[in-house]
A and B are shown apart, each in its own frame.
Chain A
Amino acid sequence: MKSFTPIVLGAVLLAGVTVRAQNQAPEIAFESVANPLTLPDDIYLGEVGGVAANSKGDVFVYTRTGHPTISIGGSRAFAHGGSRLFQFDRSGKFTREIGKDSYGMMFAQQVRIDPQDNVWIVDQMTGYVMKLDSGGRVLMLLGRKPESVPVPAPAPGAGGRGGRGGGLPGAGAQSDVFNRPTDVAWDSAGNIFVADGMGNARIAKFDSKGVFIKSWGSRGTDPGMFGTVTALAVDAQGNVYAADGGNKRIQVFDNNGTFKTQFANVGTPSALCMTPGPNQFLYSSNSNPPEDFDSGGEIYKLKLDGTVVGRLGKAGKRPKEFGTVNSIDCRSENSLLVGEVSNMRVQKLTLR
């Protein structure tokens, strides 16, 4: 028994490195603002895929609510419904619904606001990345919804979602058709980056007019490869930060997709947000999966070199706890909006 001790100790020390790096991050004190959003009596949030604020403080919530439905008839099954986009004013009062009964809204994944206050939504099931103007009109569509869905669904790993262009799982498909995309971001020149995502494992780059330029990455564990790409952020220099949830790391690329570095000290990154301004920070959520509320769940604040500045929160259902954070808005560095999947809510956090 004695002879094993050094080996066991060594293993514990080695295994402990990343854990300690996470746990030694200082706690950031914060409050959760009570009732940040006021909903009409006949509207209910479902799982919150995305939350984002525009320059006026309007809040947009893209949520999985209503009833995802498959229609029976003909030789194919058609799927529709299941997600809605809501707008609130800066006081949290409900303003309106955008895109009611849209063809592109089935499984809300993310909403982001670009510097011109356009509203971009990413839908994981229809595969659309939709650019809407501030009035809610469609300006640009990336991707295309599969016309029909196979019933029953193919086994995991058996291929794409039944539409064209899904390609082999994890293939670095050189096209603008996505397979369970997860996020969208822009550089200062207006180039568009799409995380694609859960079905594919790549990042696609488009110019500001939606012309496909290139994509990089495929399924794997090497630098530049992804388990899944769950979130994206771009800094002021145009570097691309990709949450590689499947490999428990954030990878950093230059503007053309050349791997630069990775951060593996923040658990399973599932949502990212880059603060604006000259001194940028990156928020990353180690989101708990919906089946586990007893570990993880915290949000990290990082410098752009990967140094962890602090952490906040943990998994749970009370205020100041998180249930599968899928979205972070950090337009203001110390006032975050957080969208939760398994708690079906938005929290507004004030950091001390």
Chain B
Amino acid sequence: MTRRFACVALVLVLFGASASAQQKATAQNVQEISYTSVPNLLKIPAGETLGEAVGVATNSSGHIFVYHRSATTRLWEFDRNGAFVREIGKGYYGFEFAHSVRVDPQDNIWTVDEGTNTVTKFSPEGKFLMVLGRRPPAVEGAVATATGPNPPAQKYIFCRPTDVGWDPQGNIFVSDGYCNNRVVKFDKDGRFLAQAGSEKAGSEPGQFNLPHGLQVDGQGNVWVADRTNNRYQVLDNNLKPLKTYTNLGVGWTVCVSSGPHQYVFASNSNPNGNAPGTWANTGEIYKLELDGTILGKFGHASKEFGGFQVVHMMDCRNPNEVIVGEIESWRVQKLVLR
């Protein structure tokens, strides 16, 4: 036991930068929720390959949208049984490096692309409706990878945005992102209303260090997976901080189910790179009430089917059928909870 602790301590020293991302959740005595994973969920067309499955979402008909990183970033639609329906946004200028796909209450499909710094709204039929943000213009050439402090955040320009959500009025919320550290609120037509945080990372309430996932509940409160701060933050509709949850491990991604009684799912995803020891500490998903009461947890880090390899996004339209997209196993699984 002592040896293992020493080992872990050494690992923490060696992997100092990622140490915070392999945090064990402090929540105690959490009930295990049993589940099964539906075999052979997605029928990928012959000759095509799914890449890193970073984005997954369903619409009101149960169709599954997968926004993934293959040779190029692509958005695929499957029906509720996993049969391939079509590709959306083929060759679209706003697709370069997928991060999130979400479906709004009107079944519009929204993509968040951290390679082009754009958030795009497509109609249920896959037609372009609106874009927020702007792809850095190619004519300015290949810009060297930025080092040093982030430049000041701009109202209408994102810096590697990560996720999108809507309140019941249709206002748009964007988590932004890897090189800004803020949450932005726009009206339904894309006009800037407010932001919390800034380009600077911070750990106070209302500040963020890599806001990595975002969803809005039925009261209009905004749930933010504040990844590098190892916490989830809840903001009110005007982005004032309400609550912080620090007992769920790393704040990787969050999902709020639909219907009158909403549940929250929060993933303590095992970190990219799978530093030694992390599989024992991380990988599980928590199910909560909106007041933060933990109802249970499920899953664990594993490369085998049924286990998780860095859950990047969850769909929980039906809280008893959670669909997860994984980065490192290029996989989408539908989990039926008991």
Chain A residues with a Cβ under 8 A of chain B? 39, 41-47, 64-68, 70, 77, 79, 82, 106-107, 124-125, 149-154, 161-162, 180, 198, 290-294, 316-318, 342-345
Q: Mark B81-103, 1 if CB is under 8 A from A, else 0.
A: 00000110111111010000000
Known: A44-B93, A44-B128. A293 touches B192 (CB 8 A): yes
Task: Among A106, A150, A162, A318, find the residue whose CB has the most chain B CB atoms closer than 10 A.
Answer: A318
Chain A residues near B92: list those with CB within 8 A: 44, 46, 65
27 A-B pairs, CB-CB below 8 angstroms? A42-B90, A44-B128, A64-B137, A65-B91, A67-B93, A67-B96, A82-B138, A107-B138, A125-B139, A149-B141, A152-B141, A153-B143, A154-B141, A198-B139, A290-B134, A290-B156, A293-B156, A294-B155, A317-B130, A317-B189, A317-B191, A318-B189, A343-B131, A344-B93, A344-B94, A344-B128, A344-B131
**Does chain A have a CB within 8 A of B46?**
no
Q: Evaluate contact between B190 and A79: CB separation under 8 angstroms.
A: no
Known: A291-B154, A293-B191, A294-B192. A149 touches B131 (CB 8 A): no
State A180–B137 Cα separation when bound (angstroms).
12
For chain B, residues 92 to 146, give those with C-beta under 8 angstroms from any C-beta of chain A. Answer: 92-94, 96, 126-128, 130-131, 134-135, 137-144
Chain B residues near A46: list those with CB within 8 A: 92-94
**Does chain A have a CB within 8 A of B19?**
no
State A77–B130 Cα separation when bound (angstroms).
33
Which residue of the partner chain A has the closest CB to B126? A41
Q: Is the interface of B mostly helix, strand, loop or mixed?
A: loop
State A345–B86 Cα separation when bound (angstroms).
23
Which residue of the partner chain B has the closest CB to A199? B139
CB distance from B148 to the nearest CB of A (A): 15
**Does chain A have a CB within 8 A of B12?**
no
Chain A residues near B142: list those with CB within 8 A: 70, 77, 149, 151-153
Known: A124-B139, A149-B141, A343-B131. A47 touches B190 (CB 8 A): no
Q: Evaluate contact between A291 and B91: CB separation under 8 angstroms.
A: no
Which residue of the partner chain B has the closest CB to A68? B138
Q: Is the interface of A mostly helix, strand, loop or mixed?
A: loop
For chain B, residues 145 to 193, give those with C-beta under 8 angstroms from any C-beta of chain A. Answer: 154-157, 189-192
CB distance from A223 to the nearest CB of B (A): 28
CB distance from A282 to the nearest CB of B (A): 27
Chain B residues near A290: list those with CB within 8 A: 134, 156-157
Q: Which of A106, A342, A345 contacts B134 (CB 8 A)?
A: A342
State A276–B96 Cα separation when bound (angstroms).
42
**Does chain A have a CB within 8 A of B72?**
yes
Which residue of the partner chain B has the closest CB to A161? B141
Chain A residues near B137: list those with CB within 8 A: 64, 107
State A317–B187 Cα separation when bound (angstroms).
11
State A214–B44 Cα separation when bound (angstroms).
59
Q: Evaluate contact between A64 and B157: CB separation under 8 angstroms.
A: no
CB distance from B91 to the nearest CB of A (A): 5
CB distance from A18 to the nearest CB of B (A): 25
Q: Which of A64, A67, A106, A291 contacts B72 (CB 8 A)?
A: A67
CB distance from B192 to the nearest CB of A (A): 7
Known: A41-B126, A107-B138, A149-B142. A292 touches B155 (CB 8 A): yes
Chain B residues near A150: list those with CB within 8 A: 141
Which residue of the partner chain A has the closest CB to B154? A291
Sorted nearest first, the 3 A-B pairs with minimum C-beta distance are A153-B141, A46-B93, A68-B138
Chain A residues near B128: list those with CB within 8 A: 44-45, 344-345
CB distance from B127 to the nearest CB of A (A): 8
Q: Evaluate contact between B90 and A153: CB separation under 8 angstroms.
A: no
State A152–B131 Cα separation when bound (angstroms).
28
Known: A292-B156, A293-B156. A125 touches B138 (CB 8 A): yes
Chain A residues near B139: list those with CB within 8 A: 106-107, 124-125, 180, 198
Which residue of the partner chain A has the closest CB to B145? A152
Chain B residues near A198: list those with CB within 8 A: 139
Chain A residues near B141: list those with CB within 8 A: 149-154, 161-162
Known: A44-B89, A68-B138. A152 touches B143 (CB 8 A): yes
Chain B residues near A317: list those with CB within 8 A: 130, 189-191
State A65–B156 Cα separation when bound (angstroms).
20
Chain A residues near B154: list those with CB within 8 A: 291
Q: Which of A64, A77, A294 contacts B93 (CB 8 A)?
A: A64
Extra inter-chain contacts (18) besides given A42-B91, A44-B91, A293-B190, CB under 8 Å: A39-B127, A41-B86, A44-B89, A44-B92, A65-B91, A65-B92, A65-B93, A67-B96, A68-B138, A152-B143, A153-B142, A153-B144, A154-B141, A198-B139, A290-B157, A291-B134, A291-B157, A316-B189
Which residue of the partner chain A has the closest CB to B73? A67
Chain A residues near B143: list those with CB within 8 A: 152-153
Q: Which of A41, A153, A294, A318 contacts B140 (CB 8 A)?
A: A153
State A345–B128 Cα separation when bound (angstroms).
9
